[in-house]
Amino acid sequence: MKTSQKRATIYFDPDLHRALRLKAAETDQSVSDLVNNAVKLSLAEDGKIWPPSRRGRTNPTCLLRKS
């Protein structure tokens, strides 16, 4: 985990949590990465909230591409 990240507690429906864990295993990502990417994409839909206006930030859609 990067030190600049913030920690939060999220309560998931058990079936949703199971699906997230399965997807994380299938895509070799962490549940945290999946949730972060989903939230970034949701915020980007508004076009006003994400990405922040700070210089040098990455577009969230670029974060989803696997190398």
Could you report the per-residue pLDDT of 23-64, keeping only the tens digit for each? Answer: 999 999 999 999 999 998 888 887 767 777 665 555 555 555
pLDDT band at 5 (very low <50, low <70, confident <90, very high): confident
State the pTM of this model: 0.66
- 16 or 5, which is more confident: 16
Q: Give pLDDT, residue 4.
A: 84
| Whether 58 contacts 39, CB under 8 Å | no
| Whether 51 contacts 57, CB under 8 Å | yes
Torsion sign across C-alpha atoms 46, 50, 53, 58: negative
Q: Give pLDDT, residue 42.
A: 87
How far apart CA 18 and CA 23 sit, in angstroms, is 9
Q: Give pLDDT, residue 26.
A: 97
From the list 45, 23, 47, the residue with the least C-alpha distance to 34 is 23
